[in-house]
């Protein structure tokens, strides 16, 4: 059996999120149906994306996940955000084992506590920047006036006060990613996960976006997966993954945003 | 949660989901337009084919009613034959004698044997002979309506069954046949049941009559009954397709029908509507084909609607997956997708229903030119409602299924 990798801080405050002995396997291809099974087709082989990984995410901590493509960064990010469940092991968020939650409850948990920033932004072309940012508040039943106010404030904080009514198609890549960051923060989540947040941006734009990301995400835990070294430099510690296991964990800087 | 507060929140969510639905549709105008166009085609295919079915029944009934006959006598099946240019099977023999006997019955004003035969027709001996349906009409009774020219002079050749009287050699054409043959009133045609008989018998066009073209839905020439029997060598058996009976004004149709049926059990004696029904029932293949077309049209309409809406939703899969990843609930996504289905279905349904009327007019004009039937395609309220039901109902159900699948799918499947 593979040795457990990763380490856990000894501090007494409970972690915001914790992955404990997590393994994640995926099937290659689809599961055969009854007829195909009757004809002798066996289940497709599985590929292990993560194996026996343990990691704690503390409140207000920025954790970078580094590693080459296929190392398991995105998978660990998805597990911590409750986007999927582990094949083995447990993921807890604020002490709740995500395995015990229904899909509906996990969706609600993401809405209330987790903000997600995608590499490809995934904004709705049909809505303005403000409409995109305000969308999660719709689900929370926030009145329209309040939704507009909060969305506008966040767009101002990421420097897009003059782009509030623009649609994604009218914005640059950097501006779209800043809209996506504002959208991730609009519900005031305790954890923000970002998967290759600068992957679609040039270096200069990426740096500016990260600076704003770091500023607006203060007082929250952030987990960002990237193989871009400058992106990882905003992290308090970087966890390197290789072949689905934690290869190395290093503190990049300490203390983090509290010293700024 | 307080129920009032829950209701307020749900209302806000529904309103916002509706707004998202409209925004998505408005932003992708080409996609919306194509989806609506597809629904319009699907619904039009359904309403027009169903309209054709209704039209066939109603036109048939109208033709029987317009024939001004009360009862129809047949012997056996009233079947359309495939031989030659087509026509009915003439299975009622000694029709003259039977018609005269029936004419003597109480309440009967007059009777007319009608015979349909395939004949060869040419504009001259050098021209190519073509086949047409010839209708043989007896002397007396308002058998044909004349558009232009004169009616047939009568049927003197019969001469009390001797077939030695003078042949009038007069012929009536429908206008389409006259145009087709490039002849007009006063021109002559060679007509016969065989090529040899056609070469020997020259008929003069005396007028135009649409009566039998409309009844049969095919180009038709009309000549005196005895002359038709003569040129088709049927004077011995005097076969007819029908004997039509017109009753006196005060006679009760059902009573006379029952009395005649009792007196002539070997024949089928039917009212107009019964005769139409019997004629249609015997066209099993035609009816089966028509029914299959309608079922296929409805099925294709449903399949196309489902496929189109599925495609519309599939194209938004990434956007919906991203929303779900951020915590937007499956129910909000389903409402958004259903909203799209309802809007696309309603737009498509309303446009299709609005276009059905003009399309029916266009088809009827074409049908009148090609086959001579007026009002072949007809619409009725249930057809409009059916079209709308397919567009909106199936659109909504299809969108609900697509939305349910979107709601169930893991967000990572499409990100």
Q: How far apart are CA B114 and CA B88, in angstroms?
A: 10
| pLDDT single digits (tens) A64-75 | 999 888 889 999
Residue A156 in domain: yes
| pLDDT single digits (tens) B111-134 | 888 888 889 999 988 888 998 889
Q: Would you call B298 helix, strand, or coil by DSSP?
A: helix
The pLDDT of residue A43 is above 90:
no
List the single residue in A118, A138, A187 with the smallest CB-CB distance to B322.
A118
A138–B16: do the CB atoms touch at under 8 Å? yes
First to last CA, chain B: 34
The pLDDT of residue A11 is above 70:
no
What integer is the mean pLDDT of B292-318? 79
Q: What is the CATH number of the domain that holds A160?
A: 3.40.50.300
Residue A8 in domain: no
Q: Which residues of B touch A84 (CB under 8 A)?
A: 410, 412
Residue A24 in domain: yes
List the single residue in B12, B324, B327 with the smallest CB-CB distance to A141.
B12
The phi and psi torsions of B191 (rounded to 5 degrees) equal -135, 135
Q: How far apart are CA A35 and CA A39, in angstroms?
A: 6
Q: Could you tell me how many CB contacts below 8 A there are between chain A and chain B?
A: 86
Residue A16 tokens read as 């915001």
- What is the rounded average pLDDT for all residues in chain A? 84
Pick from A138, A142, A165, A176 the residue to mutate for testing the B interface (most B CBs within 10 Å).
A138
ipTM over 0.90: no
Query: What does each C-alpha distance from B128 to A168, B87, B123, B175, B231 come to in angstroms?
Result: 73, 21, 8, 20, 18
List the single residue in B26, B318, B325 with the smallest CB-CB distance to A126.
B26
Determine contact: A252 vs chain B, CB below 8 A. Answer: no
Domain count for chain A: 1
Name which residue leads in pLDDT, A202 or A160.
A160
B318–A122: do the CB atoms touch at under 8 Å? yes
- The set of residues, in sequence order, having a beta carbon less than 8 Å from that of A179 and lying 6+ positions away, is A121, A123, A129, A132, A133, A155, A158, A160, A163, A168, A171
Q: Which residues of B touch A131 (CB under 8 A)?
A: 23
Residue A155 in domain: yes
Residue A5 in domain: no
pLDDT band at B78 (very low <50, low <70, confident <90, very high): low
Q: How far apart are CA B252 and CA B264, in angstroms?
A: 18
Q: Which range has the worst mean pLDDT, B79-93, B94-108, B358-372?
A: B79-93
Residue A62 sits in which domain range? 17-259
pLDDT band at B282 (very low <50, low <70, confident <90, very high): low
Residue A173 in domain: yes
CA proximity to A239, closest of A81, A82, A63: A63
The pLDDT of residue B140 is above 70:
no
Q: How far apart are CA B252 and CA B68, in angstroms?
A: 15
Q: Which residues of A touch B13 (CB under 8 A)?
A: 138-139, 141
Distance to chain B for A12, nearest Cα, Å = 30
B326–A108: do the CB atoms touch at under 8 Å? no
Domain boundaries of chain B, sorted by first residue:
13-61+286-414, 76-266
Distance to chain A for B42, nearest Cα, Å = 28
| pLDDT single digits (tens) B30-48 | 888 888 888 898 888 888 8
What are the start-end ranges of the H helices in B267-380? 272-282, 284-314, 317-325, 330-370
Residue A2 in domain: no
What integer is the mean pLDDT of B384-412? 84
| pLDDT single digits (tens) A105-153 | 999 999 999 999 988 888 988 899 999 999 999 888 888 899 999 999 9
Is the CB of residue B8 less than 8 Å from the CB of residue A141? yes
State which of A117-131, B59-73, B399-413 shows the largest mean pLDDT: A117-131
For B5, the closest chain A residue by CA position comes to A141
Examine residue B187 and say whether the peptide bond preceding it is cis (omega within 30 degrees of 0). no
């Amino acid at each position: 059996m593979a040795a457990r990798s990763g380490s856990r801080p000894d501090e007494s405050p409970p972690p915001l999120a914790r992955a404990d002995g997590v393994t994640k396997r995926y099937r290659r291809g689809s599961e055969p149906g009854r007829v195909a099974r009757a004809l002798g087709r066996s289940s497709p082989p599985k590929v292990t994306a993560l194996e026996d990984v343990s990691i704690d995410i503390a409140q207000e901590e920025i954790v970078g996940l580094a590693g080459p493509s296929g190392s398991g960064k995105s998978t660990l990010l998805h597990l911590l955000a409750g986007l999927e469940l582990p094949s083995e092991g447990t993921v807890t968020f604020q002490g709740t084992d995500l395995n015990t939650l229904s899909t509906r409850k996990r969706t609600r948990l993401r809405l209330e506590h987790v903000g997600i920033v995608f590499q490809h932004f995934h904004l709705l072309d049909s809505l303005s920047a403000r409409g995109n940012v305000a969308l999660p508040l719709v689900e929370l039943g926030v009145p329209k006036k309040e939704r507009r106010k909060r969305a506008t404030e966040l767009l101002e904080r990421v420097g897009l006060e003059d782009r509030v009514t623009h649609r994604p198609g009218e914005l640059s890549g950097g501006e779209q990613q800043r809209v996506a960051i504002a959208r991730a923060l609009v519900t005031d989540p305790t954890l923000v996960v970002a998967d290759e947040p600068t992957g679609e941006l040039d270096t200069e734009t990426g740096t500016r976006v990260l600076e704003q990301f770091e500023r607006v995400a203060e007082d929250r835990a952030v987990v960002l997966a990237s193989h871009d070294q400058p992106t990882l430099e905003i992290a308090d510690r970087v966890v390197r993954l290789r072949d689905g296991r934690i290869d190395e964990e290093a503190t990049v800087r300490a203390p983090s945003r509290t010293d700024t | 949660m307080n129920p009032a507060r829950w209701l307020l929140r749900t209302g806000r969510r529904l309103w916002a989901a509706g707004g998202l639905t409209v925004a998505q549709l408005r932003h992708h105008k080409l996609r919306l337009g194509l989806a609506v166009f597809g629904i319009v085609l699907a619904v039009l295919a359904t309403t027009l084919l169903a309209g054709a079915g209704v039209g066939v029944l109603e036109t048939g009934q109208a033709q029987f009613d317009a024939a001004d006959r009360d009862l129809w006598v047949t012997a056996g099946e009233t079947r359309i034959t495939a031989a030659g240019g087509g026509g009915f099977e003439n299975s009622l023999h000694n029709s003259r004698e039977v018609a005269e006997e029936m004419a003597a019955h109480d309440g009967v004003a007059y009777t007319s044997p009608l015979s349909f035969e395939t004949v060869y027709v040419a504009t001259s001996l050098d021209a190519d002979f073509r086949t047409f349906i010839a209708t043989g009409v007896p002397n007396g009774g308002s058998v044909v309506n004349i558009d232009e020219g004169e009616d047939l002079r009568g049927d003197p050749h019969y001469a009390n069954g001797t077939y030695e009287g003078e042949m009038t050699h007069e012929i009536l054409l429908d206008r389409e046949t006259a145009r087709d043959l490039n002849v007009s009133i006063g021109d002559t045609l060679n007509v016969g049941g065989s090529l040899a008989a056609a070469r020997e018998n020259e008929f003069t066009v005396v007028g135009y009559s649409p009566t039998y073209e409309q009844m049969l839905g095919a180009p038709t020439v009309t000549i005196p009954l005895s002359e038709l029997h003569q040129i088709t060598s049927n004077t011995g058996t005097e076969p007819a397709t029908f004997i039509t009976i017109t009753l006196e004004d005060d006679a009760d149709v059902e009573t006379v029908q029952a009395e005649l049926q009792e007196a002539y059990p070997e024949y089928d004696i039917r009212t107009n509507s019964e005769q139409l029904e019997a004629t249609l029932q015997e066209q099993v293949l035609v009816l089966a084909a028509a029914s299959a077309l309608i079922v296929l049209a409805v099925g294709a309409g449903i399949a196309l609607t489902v496929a189109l809406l599925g495609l519309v939703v599939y194209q938004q899969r990434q956007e919906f997956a991203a929303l779900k990843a951020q915590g937007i609930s499956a129910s909000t996504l389903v409402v958004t997708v259903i909203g799209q289905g309802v809007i696309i279905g309603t737009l498509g349904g309303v446009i299709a229903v609005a276009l059905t009327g003009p399309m029916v007019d266009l088809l009827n004009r074409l049908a009148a030119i090609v086959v001579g039937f007026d009002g072949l395609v007809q619409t009725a309220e249930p057809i409009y409602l059916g079209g709308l039901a397919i567009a909106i109902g199936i659109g909504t159900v299809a969108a609900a299924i697509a939305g349910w699948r979107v709601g169930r799918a893991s967000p990572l499947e499409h990100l």
